[in-house]
Amino acid sequence: MTNMINVQDGAQRDKLRAALIQFDIQPGQTAHNENTVQRLVEKSAELGAELVVLPELWNVGYALRNLAELAQNTQGSSARLLAKMAREYGMYIFGGTIAEKKGDKYYNTALIFNDKGDIIHKYRKLHLFPNGLEEDKYFTAGDDWGLVQTPWGLFGVAVCYDLRFQALIQNLALRGANTIVLPAQWPTVRADHWYLLNQARAIENQIFVLGCNRTGHDASGKYPGCSVVVDPLGHVLAGGPEAKDAGVLLADLDYSRMSSIRQSIPVYNDRKRIVDEIDDSQL
């Protein structure tokens, strides 16, 4: 029995300085949120970040009843701002998500920019949270993998509620992702789940996980921040329960350790297809 996917450990660059930005998103206040992000991305660049991650729906928050006025496309002000900063600072930006309008549909969409300011991938949130936020009433679910090539290897993208679906994260890892970038608006009431699930996904798949959450509160709930960077052994490199303040969370990732970690506990080699084969229909 053979593995479904040949997992590749190598990355073009071994070292990555990543910045996770968390702040109190103001629902419906696009200009305010854009100004905040501009300031914090600039600070990230000053700290030497090569890659920046933003939280979910960073530009409009959960003002879902006003999507007709607030949603943008990839040429809108929020995408233009991220492209400009990626190009100006020579960094990769995993732009959280924006409320994207395409035709008569709305999507919760992650935009990824390279260091030249080009959009190199777009991932539309697959699992829409039904309770409280009622995402499924406003957004259309995506239907494609969040996989994007970077100078540090293949990265997977998932969004907030996606974290609870182990099959999705495992599929991204089996397809070669060495890192999962996970923007979120994860509430304080389930903050312990957020912390534990980020660690679990990193450990079980032997990957890095960059979970970027928001702070503050609004009509949709209270949010703890607690953005976290976890290595393939489950060690927290930055953030976690104490990281509650708005600002920039900085972490240094070392991809040269990944091969030895996977050799010490060879779950990819020992994985039996008959036991845990996963196909797209199970997502």
Banded pLDDT at 165 (limits 50, 70, 90)? very high
Residue 211: enclosing H or E segment and its boundaries?
Answer: strand 208-212
Banded pLDDT at 279 (limits 50, 70, 90)? low
**Of 52, 121, 118, nearest to 87 (Cα)?**
118
Instruction: Report the number of distinct structural domains present in the chain.
Output: 1
Domain hosting 166: range is 16-271
240 is a domain residue? yes
41 is a domain residue? yes
User: Percent of the chain beyond pLDDT 90?
Assistant: 87
Q: Average pLDDT over the chain, rounded to whole?
A: 92
pLDDT at 9: 46
Looking at 35-39, 105-109, 266-270, which range is the least confident one? 266-270
Residue 114, token pair as written in the block: 């390279």
Which residues 6+ apart lie within 8 Å of 257 measured at CB?
231, 232
Q: Are 273 and 1 in contact (CB under 8 A)?
A: yes
pLDDT at 239: 95
CA distances from 145 to 47, 52, 54, 274, 275 (A): 31, 21, 19, 23, 23
6 is a domain residue? no
pLDDT at 271: 85
Q: Are 207 and 232 in contact (CB under 8 A)?
A: yes
277 is a domain residue? no
Q: Which amino acid is at 3?
A: N
In this predicted model, what pLDDT tens digit does every residue of 137-159 receive, in sequence order?
Answer: 999 999 999 999 999 999 999 99
Banded pLDDT at 132 (limits 50, 70, 90)? confident
Banded pLDDT at 1 (limits 50, 70, 90)? very low
191 is a domain residue? yes
With vertex at residue 181, the alpha carbon angle to CA 151 and CA 167, rounded to the nearest 5 degrees, is 115
98 is a domain residue? yes
In this predicted model, what pLDDT tens digit does every residue of 45-85 receive, in sequence order?
Answer: 999 999 999 999 999 999 999 999 999 999 999 999 999 99
7 is a domain residue? no
Look up the CATH number of the domain holding residue 61: 3.60.110.10
Q: What's the pTM value of the predicted model, to 2 decimals?
A: 0.92
Point out the residues that are catalytic.
Answer: 56, 125, 160
Q: Are 105 and 123 in contact (CB under 8 A)?
A: no
**Residue 33, SS3 per DSSP:** helix
Distance CA 255, CA 266 (A): 17
Is the C-alpha dihedral spanning 234, 235, 239, 242 positive or negative?
positive
**Of 100, 97, 128, nearest to 112 (Cα)?**
97
214 is a domain residue? yes
For the chain, the farthest-separated pair of C-alpha atoms sits apart, in whole angstroms, at 55
Residue 86 pLDDT greater than 80, yes or no: yes
Distance CA 85, CA 114 (A): 10
CA distances from 252 to 18, 219, 240, 258, 262 (A): 6, 35, 15, 14, 20
pLDDT at 7: 43
Helices in 134-190 by DSSP H: which ranges?
Answer: 135-138, 166-174
Banded pLDDT at 242 (limits 50, 70, 90)? confident
Distance CA 169, CA 177 (A): 9
Residue 283 pLDDT greater than 60, yes or no: no
